[in-house]
Every structure is written in C-alpha cells, then in structure tokens.
C-alpha cells in the first residue's frame, strides 16, 4: 500500500462515523448528452431526497430515453435569462406516479443560475419534466408571504459542467404557434433538441 493511500485511509478512519460516511459518498452526478454538447448536473440528494431520488430512478431505469429539451422561456426584459425545460414532453407511458412536493422553504435550496428544478402544476403533481434556470430565479422559490399557491418549485440539482450548452439551447429558434394551448406560445423550441444519452457519471 502506498504512503498516500495509507494517509488518506488514516484520515477517514479518524473522522466520526457520520462524517466518514459523508466523505465516502460523493453527491450523485448525471451526464446529459445532446447534439450540441454535454451538461453535467450534481444532485442534492441529501437536501431534496424525494425529488433527487425520483430523477435518478428515471435515469437508472432508462425512462428518459426519447427525452428532449423542448421549451425556452425568455424573460421579456432580459431575453438571455429564463429557463430551459426538458423531459419526456408528453410520453406518459414512461411516466412514474407524481411525487410529494419538496419546497425550497423545506430544503434550504434556492433557484440560482444553473439550478435544476421540477416542473409542476399543483404541488404534488411533478413527475418527469424538469427545468434549468438561466440566470438567478428567486421567484421560483417558495414564499409563504405570497397568497395562493406559494410553494414554488422543487429545486434538486445544480449544473456543474456545460452551462454554456444550456445557454446555447436556451437561445435556439422557437415556434411562432406551438404551445398556445398551454400559455407557452413563443417558448417551444423548433425543433426540440433530443437528449441522446442520460446516465450517472458518479
């Protein structure tokens, strides 16, 4: 055994049991490949275990095969900001049951540039559609001071590589007509960008 390996093992052995487990279990990462580049995200499995675990199940079971990036929401006052949405885009045969909502007020996370979060309608309806924040987006956080549905969206991961790819996809051409039924006119990528591979990298 090398001196370096003995030193590392000795340091780990000196840690309390809880810290030792943390040191030996890096946060899971997922690699998303597209024709325009690679995006790597790191999951906050410790802070948002339900949401992160659900996403990893889709990845591990190959349910995102055939998935795409299909929506680019651009803010009117800052079109370089907004969100990039991806997922199965209506392939319900691959969808799992909806998961419980983990608001940012519970997880301690926030929607910053590169944060990955779950798309939803009502709280507790999220399944497989996710979005990546392009620019800081605190308005997606839970805010109990607001009336009505104030639980925000469930952040669960962060882009750690390929944010340049996310920004490039976010600026691709959109359809003038698609998405009108859902209030997303001018936001649907034309054409959508296939996710050619998605798998764990750690």
Residue 74 pLDDT: 97
- Condensed to tens digits (0 to 9), the pLDDT of residues 5-16 reads 333 334 334 444
pTM of the model: 0.87
Q: Which residue reads 């948002």 in tokens? A: 48
Among 17-26, 138-147, 155-164, 181-190, name the one with the lowest average pLDDT.
17-26
Q: What share of the chain is helix, strand, coil (3-state, %, to 5)?
A: 25, 30, 45
Per the prediction, the chain carries an average pLDDT of: 90
pLDDT value at 150 more than 50: yes
Q: Cα angle at 65 between 104 and 32, to 5 degrees?
A: 55
Q: Are 34 and 194 in contact (CB under 8 A)?
A: yes
Two tokens, residue 75: 């803010």
pLDDT of 46 reads 98
Quick one: CA torsion of 52, 56, 58, 62, rounded to 10 degrees? 170
Fold classification of 27-200 is Cyclophilin (2.40.100)
DSSP 8-state symbol, 56: H
pLDDT at 36 over 80: yes
Which tokens is 6 given? Answer: 């003995």
The pLDDT tens digits of the residues spanning 175-191 come to 999 988 878 999 999 99
Mean pLDDT on 139-163? 97
Query: What are the start-end ranges of the H helices in the chain?
Result: 3-14, 17-24, 49-60, 104-107, 163-170
- DSSP per-residue letters across 77-139: TEEEEEEEEEE-TT-GGGPPPP-----HHHH-----TTEEEE--SSTT---S-EEEEES--GG
Asked whether residue 80 carries a pLDDT value surpassing 80, the answer given is: yes
């Amino acid at each position: 055994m090398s001196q370096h390996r003995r030193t590392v093992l000795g340091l780990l052995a000196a840690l309390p049991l809880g810290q030792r487990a943390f040191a030996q279990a890096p946060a899971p990462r997922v690699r998303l490949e597209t024709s325009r580049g690679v995006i790597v995200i790191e999951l906050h499995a410790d802070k948002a275990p339900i949401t992160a675990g659900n996403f990893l199940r889709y990845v591990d079971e190959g349910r995102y095969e055939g998935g795409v990036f299909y929506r680019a929401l651009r803010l009117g006052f800052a079109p370089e900001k907004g969100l990039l949405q991806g997922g199965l885009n209506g392939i319900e045969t691959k969808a799992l049951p909806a998961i419980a909502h983990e608001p940012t007020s519970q997880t301690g996370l926030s929607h910053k540039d590169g944060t990955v979060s779950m798309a939803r309608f009502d709280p507790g309806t999220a399944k497989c559609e996710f979005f990546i924040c392009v620019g800081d987006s605190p308005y997606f956080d839970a805010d109990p001071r607001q009336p009505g549905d104030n639980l925000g969206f469930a952040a669960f991961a962060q882009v750690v590589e390929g944010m340049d790819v996310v920004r490039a996809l976010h600026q691709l051409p959109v359809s003038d007509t698609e998405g009108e039924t859902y209030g997303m006119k001018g936001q649907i990528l034309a054409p959508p960008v296939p996710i050619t591979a998605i798998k764990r990298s750690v």
